Amino acid sequence: MAIPEELMIDIFSRLPVKSVGRCRCLSKLWREILSTPQFIKSHLNRKTNRQQNLLLVAALNTIHTISDVKNGTVSRKIQLIDEWEEAIGSCDGLVLLLNEKSEKILVNPITLQKEKIPDPPLALNKTESHSMHGFGYDGSIDDYKIVVVSYYDTDEYYPDNFDTFVDIYCVKKGVWKRVDNSPYDLSSARRCTGACVRGAVHWLAPSKKQGDYRAVIAAFDLAREVFDEIPVPNDVSMDSGCYQLVVLGGCLCMTDAGRSLHQDNNKTDIWIMHEYGLAESWTKFTIDCGYEWSMLKPLCYIGDEEIVLICEGGEVLLVYNLNENTLKNMVVDGASAYVLDGCVFVESLLSPCFGMS
């Protein structure tokens, strides 16, 4: 008796990505069913398949992944050869990487499929400008979007041009478009990658009101393609500190190495916004990282007590215990891990070349 297709999808959607790949090789019928957009989406939405993995840009610009995130874990070096420089972010198993030529590559670290993203047709000259990137999902059109915010180098090339341009790439459609300029001066974000939470990409910026130099978070809504404003912690100021926005455990997170930069000590302040958009939900803790001129970038939690971080000054992977207030090097493959950048991702069957197709 033939098994109904709906039941097959329900059964196979509970399997890990690699097991699904093996099943595709067993039968032409199974390959067809397990490659449909319906199955890929069903597999992605299974909670059993949402375990967080780590992708690390390691020494010698190699890419490693960790499926069991813990101290003393083992990594897997994946065959993606390039001069990798930065992990911009991930969404539904797709990771956006940047190489030393500032080329954007969309990758599935599990299936090893990759796609080079073309430059925007209105891209500024790279030698005369600066760019920042963000990556996320627009549920209103069921598409993934790459956001490029760019502005001229006013110190050397264009002293009178303070415009901040915004270009958007729709991954499934394969098209770029330019939207209205940012009303915020995002050059103060120090070329940081945008943090994508709740369908918006976030950068730190001064208020857009004339004469008001308060710090705010400029949130670019991927569906509406406009900027909104999110409150920062009360003790954050644009005229001091060295801030960065990241995502930690699905929450917006802000780090500040300004204490080590301006007060000659080795501490980093970290805030977490537990309820999105609510100013009162910011909580703060401080880590003594022991590295001068460094910034800590949180990556993910290990259980409820520990956080994995990158020390960007020392290029070291660290584990901080929230309860014990201790910091130690993270051991990967039997030794301390030295990394350039990293991000979390989930396993998925999504193709960076064809989206859900």
Supply the pLDDT for residue 20: 80
β-partners of residue 146 are 135, 169
Range picked from 168-172, 255-259, 263-267 for highest mean pLDDT: 168-172
Q: What is the pLDDT of residues 193-210, one digit of tens each?
A: 999 999 999 998 887 776
Supply the pLDDT for residue 121: 92
- Max CA separation in the chain (angstroms): 75
Q: Provide the pLDDT confidence category of residue 8 given band limits of 50, 70 and 90.
A: confident
Handedness of CA 242, 247, 252, 253 (dihedral sign): negative
224 token code pair = 């509406």
Q: What is the pLDDT of residues 319-356, one digit of tens each?
A: 999 999 888 888 888 666 788 899 999 999 888 985 44
Q: What is the pLDDT of residues 95-134, one digit of tens each?
A: 999 998 889 999 999 989 999 999 999 888 888 888 999 9
Supply the pLDDT for residue 356: 41
pTM higher than 0.85 for the full model?
Answer: yes
Q: How far apart are CA 143 and CA 48, in angstroms?
A: 23
Q: Are 108 and 94 in contact (CB under 8 A)?
A: yes
Supply the pLDDT for residue 13: 79
Q: Provide the pLDDT confidence category of residue 254 given band limits of 50, 70 and 90.
A: very high
Kindly report the number of other CB atoms within 10 A of residue 300's CB atom: 19
> Exposed e or buried b for every residue in 239-277, given b needs 16+ CB within 10 A?
eebbbbbbbbeebbbbbbbbbbbeeeebbbbbbbbeeeb
345 token code pair = 């991702």
Q: How far apart are CA 349 and CA 93, in angstroms?
A: 8
Is residue 1 scored above 60 in pLDDT? no
Range picked from 22-31, 36-45, 221-230 for highest mean pLDDT: 221-230
Q: How far apart are CA 88 and CA 78, in angstroms?
A: 18
Q: How far apart are CA 343 and CA 87, in angstroms?
A: 6
Q: What is the pLDDT of residues 177-195, one digit of tens each?
A: 999 999 888 876 666 899 9
Q: What is the pLDDT of residues 263-288, one digit of tens each?
A: 546 778 899 999 999 999 999 988 87
Q: Are 288 and 309 in contact (CB under 8 A)?
A: no
One-letter amino acid at 41 equals: K
| Best CA proximity match to 335, nearest among 84, 62, 75, 52 | 75
59 token code pair = 């020494």
Is residue 222 scored above 90 in pLDDT? yes
Supply the pLDDT for residue 167: 96
DSSP-derived 3-state class of residue 19: helix
**Lowest-confidence pick of 6-15, 162-171, 279-288, 337-346:** 6-15
137 token code pair = 């999902």
Q: Provide the pLDDT confidence category of residue 154 given band limits of 50, 70 and 90.
A: low
